[in-house]
Amino acid sequence: MKPEARRERLFREHFRQNRGGYAFAFVLIIGAVLTQLLIPKVLESFADAYAAGTLSPITALEHGFWLLLVAVLMAAIRIASRLRLYYLGRQFERSVRSRLFAHWLRLPAEYYQGRRIGDLMAHATNDMNLLREKANFGVMMLVEAIFLVSLSMVMMGVTVHPLLTFWVLLPLPLLSLAAYVFRRRIQRHSRGVQEAFADLNTRVQKFCSGIQVIKAFVQEPAELARYEEANRANVEANRRLIQSSAAFAAMSSLIVGLSFLIAMTYGGWLAMEGRITLGQFIAFHTYLAQLIWPIESIGRVINVFQRAAAAEQRIAGILAMEPSIRDEEALPVRTLKGHIVIRDLTFFYPGNSRPALHGVTLDIPAGSTLGVVGRVGSGKSTLVQLLLRLFDPPPGTIQVDGMPLERIPLAVLRSQIGYVPQDNFLFSTAIYDNIDFHPVSHTEAEIHGAASLAHIHEKIMQFPRQYGTLLGERGVTLSGGQRQRVCMARALLKEPSILILDDSLSAVDADTETRILQDLRRYRSGRTTIIVSHRISSVQDADQIIVLDEGRIVEQGTHDALLAAGGVYAQMAARQQREEPLPEKRLDGAGRSFHGKRHTSG
């Protein structure tokens, strides 16, 4: 099925799945319309009785009683129909929002790199509101307008005067012409409103995320000016939409007013000539008055449907995207030992002509530790992201336990990897929940143990609410080192087969780093560990170390062998030694060693 075809099916799928509920609501609407059509007949009977001189106080009270009964019955049926449609509209909103969020979770990291948070927020809020408004208010007004207009026309023509009805209704087709003229303009302005709303959301998000930097550089006036500019653009976009909608509504009112003018002049002449009674004249005008609201609301209904159509196209377009990273021909595997083999890996980020990694070949035995060092932008984090399949490497270039990486189920792969990223992301919830961020809950003792291993437990216990301490946005209430250690505790609690520390000790002091690494030696036993760092002290105890430069492995070996080689690694160690002495190297019980070697390719 073409994406264009799929983009029009969100509401139709919802309508088909809930056709019973909508049918019941439509029956209620028709019942309310039929009840409303009794009002002109009661007024006709009252006016004819008055004109004939047969109206008595008892008769007047009877007419009043019938009007009251019709009004109460009509209100009750209308309330029931509205409640039903509003419930269905909320169901539609919830269903689409859940589908959108679930699909966002399936999309790869590259999808989010080219999109602003404000745009995503607008999809999840403003677009959802437009879809809900179509599903309840739009459908309700459309169905009510169709039945009320058509049945009123029948009653006017059959019970009053066919020719009068013809002339009065003659201008009304102009409404369709007006709707056609304004349709594209309203849709275009609706898209402008959505984009302006997204810009405003993005500006607020950037302000909240960067408040400390803004204050530190005294940028409050500049940020206020930028926000006011985005706010003005939002007002201007809404003004253009309102102008188009108001122009359409005014044209609709003009057309309806022309119909009333014909009804008053020609209908009055018919009444004076005795061709229709006074009661019929009043009934006709009552029918016509009942048409005003649904006819004038056609403009609003069209506006709702057009804005919702634009929102539905945006949402359905996202849902039509196929995740580029997904399980294909997955192998029946549940656990991993952690033997990683990389063969001639060359990787380009989407849209880049320069490779982030070039010709990388590496063998990481299960249970061993790999250290990765290099300058900023040398490809260290890229290697880690490929192992997690946040981006897909070329097929066959990475194997884990002899299996191609792309054939290991994503859920299994990522559940077996404990990952501490560079950005140390924490959720704005309690510390306890941030550490216990796993599909399976852990005991308090296990959480405390992981925090102790990351050397953050004692600090947490000093907080007034300890593990119940609520963190600010992205954990801003903690220091950089504290955030890193909470993130590390989260990964250690996972008890993974493969542990990846991506420059995750850069914000802690050297003494704390030394103590953490010493405690991790015992934890790392039997686990494949990859330590990415710019500090030599973090990787010096690794079984093997690679030095990356411009995406290539330029050196590989143990700490001692690389120092003896006198290359890039030795230069980095000497520079850092001058800044801060390296702690004494300690060997674990594995007894592994690798001979240093220089890579001269490229």
* pLDDT band per the 50, 70, 90 thresholds, residue 579: low
CA distance 362 to 397: 10
Provide the pLDDT for residue 593: 38
Q: Which residue has the tokens 């995740």?
A: 323
The tokens 């990223």 sit on which residue? 421
Asked whether the predicted pLDDT for residue 602 surpasses 50, the reply is no
What does the mean pLDDT of the chain come to? 82
User: Which of 111-115, 129-133, 215-219, 228-232 comes out lowest in average pLDDT?
Assistant: 215-219
Query: What pLDDT is stored for residue 65 in this prediction?
Result: 92
Residue 394 one-letter amino acid:
P
Sign of CA dihedral 464, 467, 471, 474: positive
The Cα–Cα gap between 249 and 182 comes to 10
Q: Which helix (H) or strand (E) holds 597?
A: strand 597-598
Q: pLDDT band at 296, cuts 50/70/90?
A: low
Q: State the DSSP code for 172.
A: T
What does the block give as tokens for 414? 């990522």
Q: Where are the beta strands (DSSP E) in 270-405?
A: 340-347, 357-364, 369-374, 398-400, 403-404
Q: Which tokens sit at 279?
A: 């009661």
Q: Given a cut of 70, is residue 597 above it in pLDDT?
A: no
Q: In a 3-state reduction of DSSP, which class is residue 422?
A: coil
Which pLDDT belongs to residue 580?
A: 60
Q: Strand 552-557 to strand 544-549: parallel, antiparallel, or no bridges (unpaired)?
A: antiparallel
Beta bridge partners of 548: 374, 553
Query: Which residues have a Cβ under 8 Å from the Cβ of 571 and sit 6 or more positions away?
Result: none
Return the pLDDT at 209. Answer: 65
**Model confidence pLDDT, tens digit, residues 463-498:** 888 888 888 766 677 777 888 888 888 888 888 899
Closest CA to 306 of 479, 134, 493: 134
Cα-Cα-Cα-Cα dihedral sign, residues 438, 439, 443, 446: negative
pLDDT of amino acid 11: 87
pLDDT classification of 594: cutoffs 50, 70, 90:
very low
Lowest mean pLDDT among 13-22, 369-378, 507-516: 507-516
- Residue 305, classified by CB atoms within 10 Å of its CB into exposed (0-12), middle (13-18) or buried (19+), is buried
Q: State the Cα–Cα distance between residues 342 and 372, nearest whole angstrom.
A: 14
Task: For tokens 């437009």, name the residue.
Answer: 130
Nearest CA among 154, 41, 29, 122 for reference residue 79? 29
In this predicted model, which residue has the larger pLDDT, 36 or 593?
A: 36
| pLDDT at 278 (0 to 100) | 87
How much is the pLDDT for 584? 45
424 Ramachandran zone, left/alpha/beta (phi>0; psi -120 to 50): left
Task: State residue 364's pLDDT score.
Answer: 92
Better-predicted residue by pLDDT, 8 or 468: 468
Q: Are 455 and 487 in contact (CB under 8 A)?
A: no
Query: What would the mean pLDDT of 387-399 be, rounded to a whole number?
Result: 89
Res 76: pLDDT: 94
pLDDT tier for residue 208 given thresholds of 50, 70 and 90:
low
Q: How far is CA 45 from CA 38, 57, 252, 281, in A?
A: 11, 14, 32, 11
More confident residue, 444 or 589: 444
Residue 47: phi and psi, rounded to 5, are: -65, -40
Distance of CA 253 to the CA centre of its chain: 39
> Given a cut of 50, is residue 374 above it in pLDDT?
yes
Q: Is the pLDDT at 36 greater than 50, yes or no?
A: yes
Task: Write the DSSP assignment of 11-54 as a string of letters.
Answer: HHHHHHHTHHHHHHHHHHHHHHHHHHTHHHHHHHHHHHHHHHT-
- Per-residue pLDDT band for 77 (boundaries 50, 70, 90) equals very high
Return the closest-CA partner of residue 98 out of 124, 135, 120: 124
Q: Which residues of 276-288 are buried (b: 16+ CB within 10 A; e: fewer)?
A: bbebbbbbbbbbb
Question: Residues 80-104: what's their mean pLDDT?
Answer: 90
Q: Which of 3-12, 89-98, 202-211, 362-371 has the lowest mean pLDDT?
A: 3-12
Q: Is the pLDDT of residue 8 over 80?
A: no
Higher pLDDT, 204 or 267: 267
pLDDT at 7 over 50: no
pLDDT at residue 371 above 50? yes
Confidence band for 526, pLDDT divided at 50, 70 and 90: confident
Better-scored residue on pLDDT, 442 or 298? 442
CB 471 within 8 A of CB 478: yes
Query: d(Cα 443, Cα 451) in Å, to the nearest integer?
Result: 13
Q: Given the structure tokens 């880049």, which residue do they identify? A: 352
Dist. CA 252–CA 172, nearest whole Å: 9
Residue 3 pLDDT grade (very low, low, confident, very high; cuts 50, 70, 90): very low
Q: Using alpha carbons only, give the angle 521, 524, 526 rounded to the nearest 5 degrees.
A: 130
Give the model's pLDDT for residue 319: 87
For residue 299, pLDDT over 70 is answered with: no
Q: How confident is the model at residue 177 (pLDDT cuts 50, 70, 90)?
A: confident
More confident residue, 2 or 40: 40
596 pLDDT band (50/70/90 cuts)?
Answer: very low
Please compute the mean of the pLDDT values over residues 269-294 and round it to a whole number.
85
Q: 117: closest CA among 182, 206, 243? A: 206
Radius of gyration of the chain (CA): 36
pLDDT band of residue 79 (cuts 50, 70, 90) is very high
Report all structural domains of the chain as residue ranges with CATH numbers, in order of start: 3-319 (1.20.1560.10), 331-416+496-602 (3.40.50.300), 422-495 (3.40.50.300)
% residues pLDDT > 70 (the chain):
90
Do 81 and 142 meet the contact criterion of CB atoms below 8 Å apart? Answer: no
From residue 295, how far is each of 136, 256, 257 by CA, in Å? 18, 8, 11
| Token reading at 391 | 């981006």
Three state DSSP letters for 329-350: CCCCCCCCCCCEEEEEEEECCC
- CA 49 → CA 52, 62, 193, 198, 406, distances in Å? 5, 12, 56, 62, 86
User: Tell me, what DSSP letter sits at residue 392?
Assistant: P
Q: Check if the beta carbon of residue 406 is closer than 8 Å to that of residue 487.
A: no
At residue 263 the predicted structure's pLDDT band, cuts being 50, 70 and 90, is confident
Of residues 500, 502, 487, the one with CA closest to residue 434: 487
Could you report the per-residue pLDDT of 323-337, keeping only the tens digit for each?
A: 878 887 888 888 889
